[in-house]
């Protein structure tokens, strides 16, 4: 399993602590440094069963500069959102855990981290 984190994020640190406490095997991706491509973002969205605006941090300064709150949230705008996330990775909600069974969760709560752990059991 892989976890996308920003080390400065308390929810990311909490998720890592829980994974460690459970003895989980995982790979850390510091997504601000190792920025996901548009294709990787599309793949994670498919695994999450979410749209790009669902995982966008709209309160970030960059979101306000881009005017994201005014952007359409429909199929026609989907690629524009994905491009924005790839160009401005700080806008990606975190942490995101991708499990070995092909699922993924936005792991902002202990329950979500535990769900990822359940999906990762073989």
**Exposure string over 67-85, b if 16+ CB within 10 A, otherwise e:** ebeebeeeeeebeebbebb
Cβ contact 90:64 at 8 Å? no
Q: Is 12 a catalytic residue?
A: no
Query: 2, 4, 9, 79: which is the annotated catalytic residue?
Result: 9
Tell me, what DSSP letter sits at residue 60? S
Cβ neighbours of 120 (radius 10 Å): 19
Catalytic machinery residues: 9
């Amino acid at each position: 399993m892989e976890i996308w984190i920003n080390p400065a994020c308390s929810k990311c640190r909490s998720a890592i602590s829980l994974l460690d406490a459970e003895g989980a095997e995982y790979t850390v991706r510091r997504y601000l440094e190792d920025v996901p491509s548009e294709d990787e973002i599309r793949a994670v969205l498919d695994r999450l069963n979410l749209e790009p605006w669902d995982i966008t941090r709209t309160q970030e300064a960059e979101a306000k500069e881009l005017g994201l709150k005014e952007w359409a949230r429909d199929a026609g705008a989907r690629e524009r959102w994905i491009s924005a996330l790839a160009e401005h990775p700080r806008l990606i909600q975190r942490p995101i855990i991708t499990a070995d069974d092909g699922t993924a969760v936005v792991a902002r709560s202990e329950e979500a981290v535990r769900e990822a752990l359940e999906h990762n059991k073989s």
